[in-house]
Structure 1
Amino acid sequence: MRPVALVAAVALTVSACGGGGAAQDDNAPKAGATFTYAMTGLPTSLDPADYQGDPSRNIGFELGSSLFRWGTEDLDQQGCTTLANVNQLKGDLAESFERSEDGKTVKVKLREAKSAAGNTLTSNDVKWTIDRLIQLKVGTPNTLMQDVADWAADPIKVVDDRNFEILMDNPSAMDIAITTWAQFRILDSTEIKKHVTAEDPWGKAYVSKNASTFGPWTHQAEDFVSGDRLTLSKNPNYTGERGDVEKVVFIGVSDAASRAQLLSTGNASYAAGLQYEQYAQLRDNPEIDVQTCSSADRIPLVLNAKDPVLGKDDVRKAISLAIDRKSIVDAVYRGFNQPSEATVSNAYGLDLPNAAKYEYNADEAKKLLAAAGVSSLDITLHISPARPGPEAEQIAILLQNQLGKVGINVKIQTLASATEINTVFHDGNFQALLYLEPPAVADPYYSLFLYNSSKSKLNTFGYVNAELDEVITKVGTTSPGSERDTLVKKAGELLADHPGFIYLVDRQFVHAVRKGLTNYQHAPNGEMFVYTLKQG
Structure 2
Amino acid sequence: MPVIVKRWYQQMSLCLSSIVLAACGQVQLPSGLVYCSEGNPESFNPQLVTSGTTIDATSHQIYSRLVNYSQEKAEITPGLATSWQVSDDGLSYVFTLREHVSFHKTRHFTPARDFNADDVLFSFNRIIDPLHPYHLVSRTGYPFFQSIGFADLIGYIEKVNDYQVIFHLTRKDASFLSNLATDFAVVLSAEYGYQLLAQGTPEDIDYYAVGTGPFQLSQYVKNEYIRFKKNPVYWGPTVEIDQLVFDITPRSTARIAKLITGDCSVSALPKAGELAVLDQHKDIIIDAKPGLNVAFWAFNTQKPPLDDVRVRRALAHAIDKNNILDVVYNDTAVEATGVLPPASWAYSKNLSPNEYNPEKAKVLLHQAGVSNLSINVWAMPVARIYNPSALKTAELIQADLARIGVKLNIISYDWSVFTQKLASSNYDSVLIGWNADNSDPDNFFTPLLSCAALASNNNRSRWCNKDFEHLLTQAQSVSTQPERKAFYQSAEAIISDQVPLVTIAHAKKVVLKKSNITAMQIRPYGGISFAKTTQAIEGTE
TM range (shorter): 0.7 to 0.9
**Residue 10 of structure 1: aligned partner:** 28
Shift of 1:479: 3.4
**Residue 38 of structure 2: aligned partner:** 40
C-alpha distance in structure 1 between counterparts of 2:464 and 2:331, whole Å: 36
| 1:92 lines up with 2:79 in the alignment | yes
C-alpha distance in structure 1 between counterparts of 2:57 and 2:160, whole Å: 32
The residue type paired with residue 37 of structure 2 is: M
- Of 237, 247, 256, the residue aligned with 1:241 is 237
**Residue 275 of structure 1: aligned partner:** 271
SS of corresponding position for 2:305:
coil
| 1:114 lines up with 2:110 in the alignment | no
> What are the residue-to-residue correspondences of 1:120-269 with 2, within 5 Å?
120-134=114-128, 135-137=134-136, 138=138, 139=140, 141=142, 143-144=144-145, 147-149=148-150, 155-191=156-192, 193-197=194-198, 199-200=200-201, 203-205=202-204, 208-209=207-208, 211-218=209-216, 223-225=219-221, 228-242=224-238, 244-269=240-265
**Residue 301 of structure 2: aligned partner:** 305
The residue type paired with residue 158 of structure 1 is: K
SS of corresponding position for 1:258:
helix
CA contact (8 A) 2:435 2:526 kept: no
The residue type paired with residue 129 of structure 1 is: S
**Residue 410 of structure 1: aligned partner:** 407
Shift of 1:145: 5.9
Cα deviation digits, residues 395-417 of structure 1 (max 9, x gap):
22221222233x33223132222
CA contact (8 A) 1:149 1:174 kept: no
Cα deviation digits, residues 279-304 of structure 1 (max 9, x gap):
44335421112222232332222223
**Residue 504 of structure 1: aligned partner:** 504
**Residue 427 of structure 2: aligned partner:** 430
> What are the residue-to-residue correspondences of 1:330-409 with 2, within 5 Å?
330-374=326-370, 377-386=373-382, 391-405=389-403, 407-409=404-406
Shift of 1:484: 1.0
- Of 82, 92, 117, the residue aligned with 1:105 is 92
**Residue 27 of structure 1: aligned partner:** none
SS of corresponding position for 1:171:
coil
> What are the residue-to-residue correspondences of 1:307-322 with 2, within 5 Å?
307-322=303-318
C-alpha distance in structure 2 between counterparts of 1:107 and 1:65, whole Å: 18
C-alpha distance in structure 2 between counterparts of 1:380 and 1:346, whole Å: 31
SS of corresponding position for 1:205:
helix
Q: TM-score, normalised by structure 1?
A: 0.81
SS of corresponding position for 1:492:
helix
Shift of 1:519: 3.0
CA contact (8 A) 1:133 1:142 kept: no
Cα deviation digits, residues 408-466 of structure 1 (max 9, x gap):
32231322223554455443333333233344555322322233333432336443432
Cα deviation digits, residues 69-99 of structure 1 (max 9, x gap):
111233xxxxxxxxx5xxx111111100111
Question: What value does the CA root-mean-square deviation take over the aligned residues?
Answer: 3.3
Shift of 1:7: 11
The residue type paired with residue 389 of structure 2 is: E
1:69–1:367 distance in 2 versus 1, CA, 3 Å: same
Cα deviation digits, residues 297-346 of structure 1 (max 9, x gap):
32222223234433232332232122110111101223322222234333
1:517–1:441 distance in 2 versus 1, CA, 3 Å: same
C-alpha distance in structure 1 between counterparts of 2:145 and 2:135, whole Å: 15
SS of corresponding position for 1:473:
helix
In structure 2, runs of 5+ residues without a counterpart are 1-23, 106-110, 129-133
Deviates more, 1:410-419 or 1:432-441: 432-441
**Residue 447 of structure 1: aligned partner:** 444
Deviates more, 1:311-320 or 1:129-138: 129-138
SS of corresponding position for 1:108:
strand
CA contact (8 A) 2:474 2:487 kept: yes
1:216–1:338 distance in 2 versus 1, CA, 3 Å: same
Q: TM-score, normalised by structure 2?
A: 0.81
1:55–1:10 distance in 2 versus 1, CA, 3 Å: farther
Shift of 1:44: 7.6
CA contact (8 A) 2:509 2:524 kept: no
The residue type paired with residue 173 of structure 1 is: A
1:141–1:308 distance in 2 versus 1, CA, 3 Å: closer
**Residue 63 of structure 1: aligned partner:** 62
The residue type paired with residue 436 of structure 1 is: G
CA contact (8 A) 2:50 2:143 kept: no
SS of corresponding position for 2:505:
strand
Q: Percent identity?
A: 20
The residue type paired with residue 514 of structure 1 is: K
